Amino acid sequence: MIQTIDLRGLQPTPAELLALVPRASTDVTVALEVAAELIDDVRARGEHALLDQAERLDRVRPESIRVPQQHIDEAVAALDEAVHAAILETIRRVRLASAAQVPPAVTTVVAPGAEIIQRWQPVGRVGLYVPGGKAVYPSSVVMNVVPAQTAGVRSIALASPPQAAFGGRVHPTILAVAGLLGITEVYAMGGAGAVGAFAYGVHGIGLDPVQMVTGPGNVYVAAAKRLIRGQAGIDAEAGPTDILVIADSTGDAALIAADLVSQAEHDELAATVLVTNDAELAASVERELERLAETTTHSARVTAALTGPQSAVVLVDDIEAAAAFSNAFGPEHLEIQTEKPEEVLELIENAGAIFLGENSPVSLGDYSAGSNHVLPTGGQARFSAGLGASTFLRPQQVVRYSREALAEVHANVLALSDAEALPAHGDAVSARFV
């Protein structure tokens, strides 16, 4: 049911590897026109546009876009005890891991009286998007909010689509998690319109513009994030999830198949890839995938993902070739299930998050590992990082020179400003020694 790519006996170049990696046939550009219309509508008509869009796209018209605090409090009070406990522990773990991503300020003395201070300044206000389509993602509330709070962001707004099943309210579990995290500014709005509302603000409901928009979403959310970039920062243009497993003969076929299916249930376009140098393991995994696809809850969705062009079993000559293929793929989630996973890790350059050994499945990272599950998709891990406290921090250099230290480099500034035919630069330094 899943395609096989046989690279045994081949030595593809880096460019050839990039051409060989399986990808979903999605293109954000096809959604740009619709996303632009939705954003322009919000800029022109504000809350009325958001209400109309909710009625048309989410099949429900909320009573208001801004969620009353009473709704948040009610959701916290009604939260299932087991979910409540799980969320609190996840918050604790993610907060600990996020704290490690905040660098300390560092002062470098380049000469007596000449200092460069490196500091990391949080953005002042962010808009966090939590999707609400095929599944409900309270875990995404944690993964967005906790790093922002850890970075020191002062003002946090959260948006999630209104739910027809709950009378136009944001899903109560999402509201409850927001309440547990102390988030009081929540909006019942979804899709491209929500992204536009964050970027440009909606005066009528007290929604001030944000400096950054983060969080996963569908292709229209990704397109909207591309469109508002420049007005506000973004984390990434998130697409369908993907998982790549590197395994050798020691891999457990049942566990590998279970992990692949766990990501395939997200979306029909989810990419599930096994790269192995063991043909018998590959055959065993394929049999397990067929069995699980028939019995899992979201069977049709999983089958569509496994049989899509974005999923494959890749046969290679050795683990070095497997690592090279993985680096070309740039997986959002990379599992290493080999005899010596730490040695394979040394070969890995590109991955959103890496899970070592059979007891570190991707679904652990989705919920309770302490790592962040908002990660670069579609090969973007080749040049981008996942969401973390650093996402909300801007490195700034602070320059502090004494008069004596400035005098020491006065001649250097004059020489360089003359070389660049910008004499006023040098004059600005000379003016201090008249």
Q: List, in order of start, the domains of the chain with CATH numbers.
A: 3-20+239-370 (3.40.50.1980), 28-238 (3.40.50.1980), 402-431 (no CATH)
Largest CA distance in the chain: 84
pLDDT tens-place string over residues 345-389:
999 999 999 999 999 999 999 999 999 999 999 999 999 999 999
Q: Is 411 exposed, middle or buried (0-12, 13-18, 19+ CB in 10 A)?
A: exposed
Residues counted in the chain: 434
Q: Out of 171, 298, 333, 373, which one is annotated catalytic?
A: 333
- The bridge status of strand 186-188 relative to strand 155-160 is parallel
DSSP H or E stretch at residue 273? strand 271-276
pLDDT of residue 237: 87
Active-site residue, selected from the candidate residues 185, 237, 288, 332: 332
pLDDT tens by residue, 403-429: 999 999 999 999 999 999 999 999 999
Tokens matching residue 326: 């993985």
**In this structure, what token pair is assigned to residue 408?**
């020491």
- Quick one: pLDDT band at residue 55, thresholds 50, 70, 90? very high
Helix and strand tally (H, E) in the chain? 17, 16
pLDDT digits (tens, 9 = 90+) for 175-200: 999 999 999 999 999 999 999 999 99
**pLDDT single digits (tens) 87-109:** 999 999 999 999 999 999 999 99
Task: Check: CB of residue 12 under 8 Å from CB of residue 151.
Answer: no
Position 132 confidence tier, pLDDT thresholds 50, 70, 90: confident
**pLDDT at residue 134, as a whole number:** 66
Q: What are phi and psi of 117, to 5 degrees?
A: -100, 120
Return d(Cα 406, Cα 95) in angstroms, integer. Answer: 43
Report whether 5 contacts 196 (CB < 8 A). Answer: no
* Tens-digit pLDDT profile for residues 301-313: 999 999 999 999 9
What is the mean predicted confidence (pLDDT) over 166-172? 96
| 48 is an active site residue | no
> Mean pLDDT over all residues of the chain?
96
Half-sphere exposure in the Cβ direction for 283 (13 Å, CA): 3
pLDDT digit string, tens, across residues 241-258: 999 999 999 999 999 999
> Residue 338 and residue 323: Cα distance in Å, rounded?
12
335 catalytic, yes or no?
A: no
Q: How far is residue 148's CA from residue 393's CA, in Å, rounded to a whole number?
A: 9
Residue positions in the annotated binding site for Zn(2+)?
Answer: 263, 266, 366, 425
User: Above pLDDT 70, what percent of the chain?
Assistant: 99
Task: Indicate the annotated binding residues.
Answer: 241, 263, 266, 333, 366, 420, 425
Binding-site residues from annotation for substrate: 241, 263, 266, 333, 366, 420, 425
Q: Is the pLDDT score of 271 beyond 70?
A: yes
The single residue listed with the structure tokens 């006065």 is 410
Q: Which amino acid is at 18?
A: L
